Structure 1
């Protein structure tokens, strides 16, 4: 399958590292003009350098904006007013007991993980519908279906993304604009590597070994029995953004290694 996105502009939020950067690279390799986003100029510049090295000749730009509030979304849409492809990857996560999560933290997760995508979809989907072509992808998680007891506030936001993606797909009914959610499972991203490094140092094992043990212990239903790589998740996202995925909309596309034990 040859995915050709030449002439399309793709915006990937939180794309300076990890899954977001892998998605940006995949879209750039497919010929799209890619706009990367991060919270600082330094992280955006570093990501642009990596993309230009990985995909020579690709057209890549960047916008530094913190999407945890409306001001950041306004800054991003002002700097990049047009997109044919929107990948809502911005999000935060962290382990925390339910009784220790105060109202402010619930609101912070909601604004960052949910409203960031709502604000951008509200802006970019209008143009997509007017042009009768577009792709919107929300990066959700298997935690949307398999709510983790130690990250209930995170799981809630990922479930919300599924509802929004499904509703927006219905909003675009009859058009060539598709809206989908992609649900990664445990993924060995830069952030996860950093989180596991302390355990690896303490036990004298590699981060990869610790990551496999985590999946087999804490996500025992995994069929894959290892974490995914950012590139494996990105492959699904690039497909969902492609012309070939024209009949896939309103879907929750799982890249969870089979963790969620359901046939559908």
Structure 2
């Protein structure tokens, strides 16, 4: 199967690194014109350079915008009025004891992880439906199903994305627009790598070895027994954005290494 997205435009939120940048590189490699996004202009420009190194000659641009606010989402939609593909990837995570999570933290996680996808889907989906083709993807997490006791606020936002994705898929019924969620498990992104550095230093391990140990101890149900790479997750994202995935909508597609102990997707 050859995925060809020539002539399509894709915006990937939170794409200055990690899964977002890997997905952007994959989409550009399939021929899509790609818009990168992040809060910091310098990091967005650096990500554009990284993508061009990976896919020479790619059609790529960057739009810096803080998507935790309505104003930031309006800025992105104002500079890019239409897109064929929307990958709602931006998000934050981090462990914190439940009794120490104040209202402001709950609100911060909700605004970025959930409302950015609400606002951008509202901005772009109607045009996709009118044109008869489009792909919307929400990057959820296995934590949407296995709510972590030390990250309840994070798991809550990722569960919310499953509801949003399924509802929007029904809204777009018969229009040629598909809406899906992708659920990564532990993934060796820059953020996770930073989180593992302290553990690695304490135990005299490499970050990669610490990642394996983390998965085995904290996600023992993992079948692959290691973190996924960002490219492995990006492969699923690129597929679900493709023309070939036209019969896949309303799905919650797991790239979790088998962490969720279920025989049903």
Deviation per residue, 1:164-195 (Å, 9 max, x gap): 00000000111210000000000000111111
Partner Cα distance (1:159, 1:62) in 2: 29
- Look up the match of 1:42: 42
* Matching residue of 2:109: 109
For residues 242-261 of structure 1, the aligned pairs below 5 Å read 242-261=242-261
Alignment match, 1:131: 131
Structure 1 residue 202 displacement after superposition = 2.4
Q: Distance in 2 between matches of 1:32 and 1:207?
A: 33
Q: How far, CA to CA, are the matches of 1:194 and 1:59 in structure 2?
A: 31
Please report how far the alpha carbon of residue 230 of structure 1 lies from its aligned counterpart in structure 2 after TM superposition. 0.1
- TM-score by structure 1 length? 0.99
Describe the SS at the equivalent of 2:121: helix
Alignment partners' CA distance in 2, 1:201 and 1:212: 14
Report the counterpart of residue 199 of structure 1 in structure 2: 199
1:27-38, aligned counterparts within 5 Å? 27-38=27-38
Q: Stretches of 4+ moved more than 3 A in 1?
A: none
Q: Could you say which residue in structure 2 is the equivalent of 1:223? A: 223
Aligned length: 264
Partner in structure 1 of residue 92 of structure 2: 92
Q: Please state how far the C-alpha of 1:79 moved relative to its aligned partner.
A: 1.1
- The offset of 1:82, in angstroms, is 1.1
Runs of 5+ consecutive residues of structure 1 not aligned to the other structure: none
Matches of residues 1-264 of structure 1 in structure 2 within 5 Å? 1-264=1-264
TM-score by length of 2: 0.99
